[in-house]
Structure 1
């Protein structure tokens, strides 16, 4: 598979400008000028090509709940209705997961999406198992459950209905204003101590977020979502992640705006560049911020022990060193000044009532 560089004018709302070969490919090809004009013809055809469209395929999931034992993650159970994400966030650490599907972590990740069409039914079956122990279920920690295709497919709606029926605790992380659609389910759950929502706001700079997160809701729209959820009685937090040196420098302003809108919890991470994401992010920097690309990567490497990325649990989320410590201090001091809660309020697990398998009727 070749590395294809898509011109800026053809991206039109996409995040990354390349068809990045993934780490499982045996061959990689590059265009070569043979002197007969073939390369010029290929470049012309590429520049005149329409922007890549979104393609959705479907799969029947064998399982709905994922499990992790990572010591740096505050939950054990997760759920994601979709593979790939149309938001197109250039920094998304989940992009390399598309490699396992033999798809590019670049443009394929945001244009070739896979929907787990039976996820609500599988979730209901798993919750009905006598082996299931209720605890916090985190949704949207890999790909966003409220990305644009959710408006039509409504997979997340089905998942929430199952969790509501079984009174199972959940927390959602999203950039999508579509979460407002499900307030009728989330608000009653929140009143029972079963639900919380976190909105990710990387920056208040709309011009920057259009480059970083081209198909996600605008910052002012996410703030409105925080306010709407809070007014409905749903505990809301804000994620100011990822922190990217010399790119999004308004952490304090984001925390202030989110608190004013009703957020009472907050967290952050620093930029993570695993596997194929590192060369793709470097290309994005050269494309949009060539004047500071070297400085950005120097600080990223300073936080990662001289490398673009270090997967060590002790540092992959927050990094190490002077720059990482500066980000931590900025975050903690701002949260203390504004009054953000230091600890996440635990959600209830004692109300859980497993439902019957799909198609079964209750005896009562």
Structure 2
């Protein structure tokens, strides 16, 4: 923290193009340069003020802590217990500091969230004869996030008694909002998909992924952004019918368009539902780059104009929506259905703002 703002660094672009044009010859030289830098990076890490040691003269157990796990360690007041702690904040690992800490302790506990990467590196550094404890040994939970209590237990500190939730607490699993257009889309999809023995519906990343949960249980997969379309195409190529992709408006503009282009190029027999709620709802209601452009985008990517359909997902339109889904499923090519209705949360915010201004 400084009392005055730090001036912004001046723009200093690298004018050596071979550093950025990674043709094979340049890439080999850049890799050699990276290898040469390792000794300098290690030296910098050893001297870094961000790799901080809270030292004691000697102890049975020392701690190497990274990231948020360091806060959990310090919350347990290891200084009062005579436990030295090395905070690692810069990589590569400060090998000399770790070896010095290990020399005064009988064992090291490695506290890190996520995968036990640092624990594995320290095991390799100190050798099989030295005791390194952590997630791999079961001293800390192998799965899930660490907590102050789990770290304290690994340090041999008695933690506060925890209490389980009462049995009569009603579970509140996540669900699509009441009044959400996605609900009507899944209702229609389930009605039509139920008419086929082997229908597969591939989902994507967004609040509409909740369609995988009760009461709809409508989608069979959700892997990453854009995967719905490419997985549906792969399934169709393997003979699955109907193969349906459900993707949101913002996810489609993020990474769905290339999958659609590929499907069009191969004339895949798939139906793509771009569920358009006119916003990026899951992350706060930001504008979506494709709003009011999806029909043009699909046409530009080569979808037959006769098979780009727009519907309004409302219960009163259920007969029309199910009819269109049936028709497009039977089309021997790529079809796109765009159910369009504003996110109910965004709409409510607009209405509240309007009433406040009146």
TM-score above 0.5, yes or no: no
TM-score by length of 1: 0.29
TM-score by length of 2: 0.29
Q: Identify the structure with the greater helix proportion.
A: 2
